Amino acid sequence: MFLIRYKTKVILFYILSKNAVQSVLLKYFLLAVSLLFFHLSVSAKERILLLSDDENDRQQLLSLQPVSLATDTLNLVLNQLTDEFDFDVQSAPISRIDPLLDRHENACVVNRVKTPERQAQYLFSLPIHIFPNHRLYYDPSWVTISAKQLNEQGQLFSLQALFTEQLEHKLLLVKDKSYGRYLDSQLALLDKSNTLYRSGGDYYTALLAMLERRRSEYALMFPATFFEQTGQKVQGKQIRSVAIAGNPTYILGHIACKQSEIAATFIAKVNHVLKQLYHDERLYQAHVRYLSEADKIHFKQDYRQVFHSPD
């Protein structure tokens, strides 16, 4: 009897031990399968190279922290696509953006202005953001714009007329940057002695610093960029701005990609997200939190015209 009981216990122990081992092995097997599928799902994401002329975008794109009009609006789109695309964000000077865009597969550039020449070569998304257009910034404590330079709406007649009257004054600009077709044509008429160019990263911070240190009398900047750089300090500053007659009231920013099948899929996904965001209050707030109260009044009409117009 004792022997039978002993053998029974041994057999039961063997069976239980075998079952326990099988259970552990099954758990490891299922874990391995899960990790394999996770790896395959991650590796299946298409890689998109995102190029920007703003060096801050390397840390700020795909983040949740509000930082600027351009970055916040882009993040509303890109953060909804991270399950499908693996984004590699790189920065480069403006002069190197096009060569990099042409050299790499599945490469895109953010904050791109659409022109007929670019549209013929690259794939463009729908508008992602709308910027109130460039204004001429100056410090009235030592720079004066005469009344005869302004029209009835208080706009500057032209840059050429201003610098014909103020031959020794200088205008701060970003090197290799397009200011839009209208302003580019006006800038081409200025004497080279009237312009100073700033290149490299974070150039708007540098422009404002140079203006405040009286290295130049004027600077062309977006109102949103000026507000981002100065924040609440605007009220205490003497710097003012004037619009330029004939210049469109706003300019649109897009994502533009090198032509490829993957890029076409990416742009289609971006456009799908944008069509939903056009009716989302978050997109509007991502714009107006970087505008002064005066700019918000005119901006609202432009925003509705661009984003709420029928498809």
**For 78-131, what is each residue's pLDDT tens digit?**
999 999 999 999 999 888 999 999 999 999 999 999 988 899 999 999 999 999
pLDDT score, position 301: 92
203/283 Cα distance (integer angstroms): 26
* Cα 227 to the center of its chain, rounded Å: 16
Residue 23 has pLDDT above 90, yes or no: no
> Which residues touch 135 (CB under 8 Å, ≥6 apart)?
220, 221, 222, 223, 226, 241, 242, 243, 244
Predicted confidence band of residue 75 (pLDDT cuts 50, 70, 90): very high
Residue 42 has pLDDT above 50, yes or no: no
The answer to whether the pTM exceeds 0.85 is no
Residue 25 has pLDDT above 70, yes or no: no
Predicted confidence band of residue 74 (pLDDT cuts 50, 70, 90): very high
Return the percentage of the chain with pLDDT > 90, whole number. 66
Task: Report the pLDDT averaged over residues 262-274.
Answer: 97
Return the percentage of the chain with pLDDT > 70, whole number. 82
The token pair that represents 88 in the structure block: 């590699």
Residue 38 has pLDDT above 60, yes or no: no
45/84 Cα distance (integer angstroms): 5
